[in-house]
Amino acid sequence: MKLIPLPAFQDNYLWVLHDGQRALVVDPGDAQPVLAYLQGEGLQLDTILVTHHHPDHIGGVDALRDATGAKVYGPARETIPEPSTRLCEGDAITVLGLRFDVFDVPGHTSGYIAYYCPEVGGRPLLFCGDTLFSGGCGRLFEGTPAQMLASLDKLAALPGSTLVCCTHEYTLSNLKFARAAEPDNLKLINYQRRCEELRERNLPTLPSTIEQERDINPFLRTRLAAVMQAAKHHDAATPPDDVAVFAAVRKWKNEFK
């Protein structure tokens, strides 16, 4: 199996997984780069997985379905291009012979789902779109901080070796904020250096891993004393409870330059 991030728009990745003959694509906001890749590699598109309804995640679904006849899976509680098979937590699907478990992870949008494959090429794999980024998390457009914290807790509890395939190359700007939230985290400092080197060579910083994110991502670390103190330092009114600290860190990031 080969896992490829196809660049699209400014900073999106359209993840393709294929076995040399058949492929799946996640959140194709644009059909063109996917069709070009399929043609170049001689692949048949089997399946389209959709995490949520934002245009940069569904814009290419109809064109790809029309061109290839691919099956479309998406969230049960959101509006995406039909026909699709609607999924929610507890569902499992088999794509290219691989099992994918579906998780409800509301927060960025209210009906958001993520796709988790327990084993591909010897390790687990997560397609999480705009919920978990490397060094960050999605903005709360529809959900509450409590929902997003619970969603991120669910993803952070996956095996550490899980490959984290997110939809945007936001890593360097996320890490700039992470350094402000946790200036003394040595793993974070080292990771930032490695990611800067990758971007200088125009290479993706993704996929990340769950273990990496647990070590450096402030949104998975809001219960740690250092992050709680930083949140309180930024906004002295932050009460000492998990959701309030998470909400304060998310708000701080929104304002961070």
Phi and psi based region of residue 42 (left: phi greater than 0; alpha: psi -120 to 50; beta: remaining):
left
Residue where the block lists tokens 């660049």: 7
For residues 123 and 129, the answer to whether their CB atoms sit within 8 Å is no
Count CA atoms within 13 Å of residue 39 on its CB side.
8
Map residue 124 onto helix, strand or coil. Answer: strand
Residue nearest to Zn ion (CB): 54
Give min distance, CB of 217 to Zn ion, in A. 18
- List Cβ neighbours of 142 (8 Å cut-off, separation of 6 or more): 106, 107, 108, 109, 110
Beta strands in 9-112 (DSSP E): 12-18, 22-26, 44-49, 71-75, 85-87, 92-95, 98-104
- In the annotation, is 91 catalytic? no
- In the annotation, is 18 catalytic? no
What's the CA gap between 186 and 233, in Å, rounded?
Answer: 21
Per CB under 5 A, residues contacting Zn ion are: 54, 130
Give min distance, CB of 66 to Zn ion, in A. 24
Task: Pick the closer one to Zn ion by CB: 53 or 221.
Answer: 53
Task: Pick the closer one to Zn ion by CB: 166 or 249.
Answer: 166
Catalytic residue among 27, 53, 57, 104: 57
Task: Pick the closer one to Zn ion by CB: 12 or 209.
Answer: 12
Catalytic residue among 27, 46, 104, 130: 130
- In the annotation, is 233 catalytic? no
- In the annotation, is 57 catalytic? yes
Catalytic residue among 18, 46, 53, 168: 168
Catalytic residue among 56, 184, 234, 241: 56
- In the annotation, is 56 catalytic? yes
Task: Pick the closer one to Zn ion by CB: 191 or 219.
Answer: 219
What's the CA gap between 217 and 134, in Å, rounded?
Answer: 7
- In the annotation, is 54 catalytic? yes
Q: Which residues are catalytic?
A: 52, 54, 56-57, 108, 130, 168
